[in-house]
Amino acid sequence: MNDVLDVALRLLVVFVVFLTFPLIVGQTEHKVMAHMQGRLGPMYAGGFHGWAQLVADGVKFAQKEDVVPAGADRRVFQLAPAVALLPYLLVLLAIPIGPGEGAVGQVIDAGVFFVLAVMGIGVLGSLMAGWASANKFSLLGGLRTAAQLLAYELPMLLTAASVAMAAGTVSLVGILDAFQWWWVPWQITGALVFFIAGLAELQRPPFDMPVADSEIIFGAYTEYTGLRFALFLLAEYAGIVVLCGLTTVLFLGGWHGPWGTDGLGWVWTLLKTAVLAFVVIWLRVTYPRLREDQLQKLAWTLLVPLSLAQIALTGIVKVVIR
Amino acid sequence: MTLAAAAGTAAHATTTAAAETHGFLSPTGVEIAFLLVGLVTLGAAVITVTTRQLVHAALWLVVALGGLAVEYLLLTAEFIAWVQVLIYVGSVVVLLLFGLMLTRAPIGRSPDADSGNRWVALTVAVVSATALVWVVVDAFRTTWIDLDGAPAGSTEVTGASLFQHWVLPFEALSVLLLAALVGAIVLSRKAKAEQAATATAPAPATASGAPGPAATRSDTEGTR
């Protein structure tokens, strides 16, 4: 009975995190973008500085009619948002938030592989949406999504492999247990490559070619309305939470901190994740969108060689210090 | 396939001979789940090759490959399962869909996509399936995985087995894949050079093209 309760409680906590954290990131994005652009952002919903704006948005989305275009492939079209969103829920299960086995949804032996594999599935949702919409802009968006995923999954995997080499394990919990503070400068190249590749996989600016609203009208999501569109948006913000959490765990030491790791380890994890999420928003406001060929060039001629160099460095240091 | 075989051998080597305690008539929950997932996988695979809708075939392939990953999980080969999802579902199917969407992916049926070789294909499929099933059954017979004992399919066990007992096949495969990669690059560059040569004669202005994406696309196809 105790085991069942334990599992149920963990699942519940992960689910609550999955429902709230993306909304917090979304609201932060509203406010941060507004202030960086010299305006106020949403101010009315909820009273204090428009804190309930996203709740109001949710109500608005729920009220809208759920339209499926006549020429679309009905089942695939309706299934796509779920395929895009659910993988991020699964990934959250494996991210450790504090020290010990109590602070992670489920300890997974091959954690690094699990998170990267499942994150890759989410892209299938965009592809399905792009094809099933029977819309040329959507198809273009789907194509760009696929090309982007193929280009950016490799550097992500290679840099994650570098951390796994350093720690001698592919378990996320094990990597955190083996972490030392000097890993941050040692793996900094890998961290940057991982974060940039992750941004590209999430299709966040400046890598938002697949959704580029000013040229292909939000790509794969053009035909979506109401709740299904909201699910795609939620997937994007859940993706930000997952990417920042993963970067924190793999490269920034997760619950390790200068002090108070025993009781307050989870605060460190959340703090680092929040700072990274802020950087994600910051990049959106700061950088213009890359062109499709620039994006491919960046991946194949810069990120892949850099991640290979990082792996070589990791190997050399590993051999020298043993 | 080689990875799976290596993991199977690892499981074989580490499991104890507990065959007496098991019978086919009193299946455990894991065995029932294994059978059900197997049926789903088989069904999805059959639909993949029989459906007339091209993109649906690729999506049913996702179900089949994902079902296979679940089977690996049920056989305690956790590492293999995640690699299966990462490589096949995450990359190969995305590549397939990319290719379909780039060339032709009509909504609805495409009757012209049928092949005249269906009986030959069926024969080859049945023969290869028979060979595989025979090899697996003959190799393992009544070997059972001891679920309570040491983990038989964890990353550590798989890695140790792969790099202690199976180094030569592993390296041979690596060289094969490298050769395929180089071959794909050579083929794509040669085709482009010929294209450029033919294109320059009538209209010099059209003989350009971004070298990056085209080359890399065929690379990835070559390695898989």
Domain limits, chain B: 2-151, 166-224
The identity of residue A159, as a single letter, is T
CB contact under 8 A, A71 and B91: no
**B93 contacts on A by Cβ (under 8 Å):** 124
d(CA A119, CA A103): 21
Residues of chain B contacting residue A157, judged by C-beta atoms under 8 Å apart: 86
Give which of A83, A86, A114, A152 to mutate to test B binding, by max B Cβ within 10 Å.
A114
How many whole angstroms separate alpha carbon B53 and alpha carbon A128?
14
The CATH number that domain B2-151 falls under is 1.20.120.1200
Which residues of chain B have a pLDDT value below 50?
Answer: 1-20, 203-224
Half-sphere exposure of A144 (CA within 13 A, CB side): 27
> What does the pLDDT look like over A88-121, one tens digit per residue?
888 888 888 777 666 676 777 778 888 888 888 8
Give the domain ranges of chain A: 2-18+67-321
Asked if residue A113 lies in contact with residue B69, where contact means CB atoms within 8 angstroms, the answer is no
Cβ of residue B150 closer than 8 Å to a chain A Cβ: no
B145: contact with A, CB 8 A cutoff: no
Task: Please state, as a whole number, how many other Cβ atoms lie within 10 Å of the Cβ of residue A45.
Answer: 16
pLDDT tens per residue, range B172-188: 999 999 999 999 888 88
Confidence of residue A159 (pLDDT cuts 50, 70, 90): very high
DSSP string, A27-62: HHHHHHHHHHTTS----STTSGGGTTHHHHHHHHHH
State how far the Cα of B49 lies from the Cα of B41, in Å rounded to an integer.
13
Between A124, A143, A153, which is nearest B102 by CB? Answer: A143
The pLDDT confidence band at residue A260, using thresholds 50, 70 and 90, is: low
What is the structure's pLDDT at B200?
62
CA distance A131 to B55: 8
Question: What's the burial of A15, exposed, middle or buried (CB within 10 Å: 0-12/13-18/19+)?
Answer: middle
Subunit contact B55:A76, Cβ cutoff 8 A: yes
- pTM for this one? 0.80
Write the single-letter amino acid at A141.
G
Quote the Cα angle for A98-A99-A100, to 5°. 120
The rounded distance, in Å, linking the Cα atoms of A56 and A109 is: 41
Q: How many CB atoms lie within 10 A of CB A110?
A: 26
Å between B71 CA and nearest CA of chain A: 16
